[in-house]
Amino acid sequence: MTIETQIFLTHKSRVQGLRTRAGIVSLLARPESNPKLAKGLKLGVMSAPLHLAPADLSGYEVCAKRTQGCTQACLHTAGNPAHMEGKTRARIARTKLYFEDRAFFMSVLISEIAALESKAQRASMICGVRLNATSDIPFERVKIKHSGKTYSNIMELFPDVRFWDYTKRPNRRNLPANYHLTFSLAEDNETDALQALKNSINVAAVFRTKRGHALPKAFMNRPVIDGDLHDYRPLDQSGVIVGLRAKGKAIYDQSGFVRSG
């Protein structure tokens, strides 16, 4: 039996179990399902996000450093409103599974990442995974067991996969080499954002800039790059502000989370 066949059979078995336990099809979204992540395909990156229910929507807190502004403007609200009910139900189911049966959750996640990595390799592409698309969990601290071995985190198990996230948690240090973080600016964490820049961690800022219009050239005395061109942040040069245009409910933000530039 080839490795590809083993991956397929394991993945199929885990997906069936996921449907039975949580009533959902998968943990990771398809690489082409998110327009911004799909742009990475043109860069040679096949990536998939994990969407959990943000804040404490599921009854479990997944964004420990969230602010009022980012909670109200969360990207969970972006997208087609007609799909909101089903999207929210699936994200709540995933989040509850993570907290209530983590061993099974991680086993499914491992099989899905393995399948994605195999697919990316066949296409001669980089495999990327964003674990906190709508959450802020320090996955580098989540130990996992696989094939009789204990790993410090899922990044250690997949050294050739590039993981990346945005975070509002300050002082996340000793990260795996294949895990890239961008700090997220909110309405009240500029001190942490400045420290992140000093620590060579880029800062993402949301601007009140309409689609098709240019973002500010500079912010916080740093050059601004257009973060909407793609979402594969490991490609970004160091020492910049990753500019993002307000989307979803963020368009109407009055808290200071969304900046004028």
Mean pLDDT of 29-38: 79
Cβ-contact 163, 48 below 8 angstroms: no
pLDDT in tens, 218-252: 999 999 999 999 999 999 999 999 999 998 888 88
- Tell me what percent of the residues of the chain surpass a pLDDT of 90: 69
Cβ-contact 243, 215 below 8 angstroms: yes
Distance of CA 193 to the CA centre of its chain: 19
Cβ-contact 159, 134 below 8 angstroms: no
Mean pLDDT of 59-81: 80
Mean pLDDT of 16-38: 81
Cβ-contact 183, 165 below 8 angstroms: no
For 41, other C-beta atoms within 10 Å of its C-beta total 16
User: What is the pLDDT at residue 5?
Assistant: 56
Mean pLDDT of 152-176: 94
| Residue 6's pLDDT band (cuts 50, 70, 90) | low
| Residue 76's pLDDT band (cuts 50, 70, 90) | low
Closest CA to 163 of 111, 116, 224, 101: 116
Token pair in block for residue 189: 């964490």
User: What is the pLDDT at residue 79?
Assistant: 57
Closest CA to 139 of 242, 50, 30, 229: 50
pLDDT in tens, 110-126: 999 999 999 999 999 99
User: What is the pLDDT at residue 36?
Assistant: 74
- Tell me what percent of the residues of the chain surpass a pLDDT of 70: 90
User: What is the pLDDT at residue 73?
Assistant: 76
User: What is the pLDDT at residue 166?
Assistant: 97
pLDDT in tens, 174-192: 899 999 999 999 999 999 9
Round to whole Å and give the CA distance between 183 and 148: 35
Q: What is the mean pLDDT of the chain?
A: 89
97 pLDDT above the threshold of 80: yes
Angle, alpha carbons 109-129-121 (nearest 5°): 95
pLDDT in tens, 123-139: 999 999 999 999 999 99
User: What is the pLDDT at residue 247?
Assistant: 86
3-state SS track over the chain: CCHHHHHHHHHHHHHHHHHHHHCCCCCECCCCCCHHHHHHHHHCEEEEEECCCCCCCCCCCCCCCCCHHHHHCCHHHCCCHHHHHHHHHHHHHHHHHHHHCHHHHHHHHHHHHHHHHHHHHHCCCEEEEECCCCCCCCHHHCCEEECCEEECCHHHHCCCCEEEEEECCCCCCCCCCCEEEEEECCCCCHHHHHHHHHCCCCEEEEECCCCCCCCCCEECCEEEEECCCCCCHHHCCCCCEEEEECCHHHHHCCCCCEECC
Closest CA to 158 of 115, 124, 95: 115
164 pLDDT above the threshold of 90: yes
162 pLDDT above the threshold of 60: yes
Q: What is the pTM of this model?
A: 0.89
| Residue 1's pLDDT band (cuts 50, 70, 90) | very low
133 versus 78: the higher-pLDDT residue is 133
